[in-house]
A and B are shown apart, each in its own frame.
Chain A
Amino acid sequence: MAAPHVAGLAALMRQANNTLTPLQIRQIMKDTGVSVFAEGNIYKRINATAAVKAVMPIQEFIDISFAGGNIDFGSLNPGVVDSNATNNSGYYIQVNPATNVNVNISQNGTDYSSGGNSIAINNMKWNSVNSLTGAVVLSTSDALLYSNVTPNTNKAIYYWVSVPSGASSGSYSSTISIKAVKA
């Protein structure tokens, strides 16, 4: 094969994986090359696609999503304690199949706000089962939900909220951030 082709392929392989040595590049070109028969001999013709694929490192990939829609608690009066979200039993954290490592899942939340009024996020609780027994208070800092979750797994989650006495009327909203990192 022409030297410019080999040099070009080598450059692409180095771009895909810059830790490769010249000897490794040559060996991978040989290993992935296509055998051709000419003039009574067997030669290897470089296969650019196979060579670059062979050197691309498989990198850690994590993809999660939240199913069940927004976490809505409907209309509540001040002083209400531990009212469940309207879609409790329908919320899941999904570790999507494309993920290739086990993950630890944590969450945090912002305080609820409505105009100039606020309700602290620590009025919200979550649990992995539909019971307030053992429910955990949310905070603005990350707190671990699940450890070592395998790819292609759904983890149920349930939420409750309390409205402080005297909380001003209004429509409040908050953002809950659910984060997955390699376990």
Chain B
Amino acid sequence: MNNNHIKANLALSNLNLRRYINMKASLVILAGVLLAFAVLGVVHADAATSNVQSSVTVNGYVSVTITVNPLCSGTMNFTSGNPGDVNKPVTCQNVTAGAVSVRNDPISNGNIAVDTTGLNFTSGGNKIAITNVAFDRDNTAANKTAMAESPVYKTVYTGVTPGQSKDVWYWMNIPSGQASGSYTTTITVRGQ
């Protein structure tokens, strides 16, 4: 074997060694890739789910319906009376229904309070103080409360729940010596 043969054999051995190393490296890399697929499970997905959040904010909300007793025909009338008369009822109220009904509508999501106020009665230059009118929560006038002049409200009910209706009865005193005449005023009922 001459020097040229020896050099050729050495070159061939080096080439085979490089091929062997390259092949071994390829196998190691492939094994690593397959292991990663097996561990991560990213190869196969025959179903997919996407979750999304949905949100809505519900406001605090009350809806109130205030109705004057239909028998009143739209006006709370204490009819005619004499000076010194006490506890004159609104003509349309009775044992089953007050002069005014207040309903916290079922749509509401909070309780309400019901309160009332009014202006003084006037007739020409004469007046009757609103404090001569009282309200009650039944038809007995036993526990009536005197009204205050607007803008001061007096509470009639608290904690009226959605869907609940409450009635208000009114009573009036005519002061002694009160001048004759037709007196009018505005009474306000509020639910909130």
The interface of chain A, by Cβ under 8 A from chain B, is 1-2, 5, 8-9, 12, 15-16, 45-46, 48-49, 52, 59-66, 70-79, 85, 93, 99, 101, 109, 112, 114, 119, 124, 159, 161, 163, 165-182
Instruction: Judge whether B107 and A79 touch: CB under 8 Å.
Output: yes
Given contacts A60-B44, A60-B46, A63-B45, A172 and B58 within 8 Å (CB-CB): yes
11 contacting pairs across A/B (C-beta < 8 A): A5-B24, A62-B45, A62-B46, A73-B56, A75-B57, A78-B108, A161-B54, A161-B56, A165-B106, A180-B47, A180-B49
Task: Give the complex CA separation of A93 and B54 in angstroms.
Answer: 15
Task: Give the complex CA separation of A45 and B51 in angstroms.
Answer: 50
Given contacts A71-B52, A175-B52, A168 and B58 within 8 Å (CB-CB): yes
Q: Which B residues lie within 8 Å of A171 (CB)?
A: 55-58
Q: Which A residues lie within 8 Å of B107 (CB)?
A: 77-79, 165-166
Instruction: Decide if B39 is an interface residue (CB 8 Å cutoff).
Output: no
Q: Which A residues lie within 8 Å of B52 (CB)?
A: 66, 70-71, 175-176, 178
Instruction: Judge whether A1 and B23 touch: CB under 8 Å.
Output: yes
Instruction: Judge whether B58 and A76 touch: CB under 8 Å.
Output: yes
Instruction: Judge whether B50 and A119 touch: CB under 8 Å.
Output: no
Would you give the shortest CB distance from B78 to chain A, in whole angstroms? 37
B19, B26, B51: which contacts A175 (Cβ < 8 A)?
B51
Task: Give the complex CA separation of A72 and B20 in angstroms.
Answer: 62
Task: Give the complex CA separation of A180 and B107 in angstroms.
Answer: 39
Instruction: Judge whether A59 and B44 touch: CB under 8 Å.
Output: yes
Would you give the shortest CB distance from A90 to chain B, in whole angstroms? 12
Chain B window 47-77, contacts with chain A (Cβ cutoff 8 Å), 1 for yes, 0 for no: 1111111111111110100000000000000
Instruction: Decide if B43 is an interface residue (CB 8 Å cutoff).
Output: yes
Instruction: Judge whether B54 and A176 touch: CB under 8 Å.
Output: yes
Instruction: Judge whether B49 and A75 touch: CB under 8 Å.
Output: no
Q: Which B residues lie within 8 Å of A176 (CB)?
A: 51-54
Given contacts A62-B46, A62-B48, A15 and B53 within 8 Å (CB-CB): no
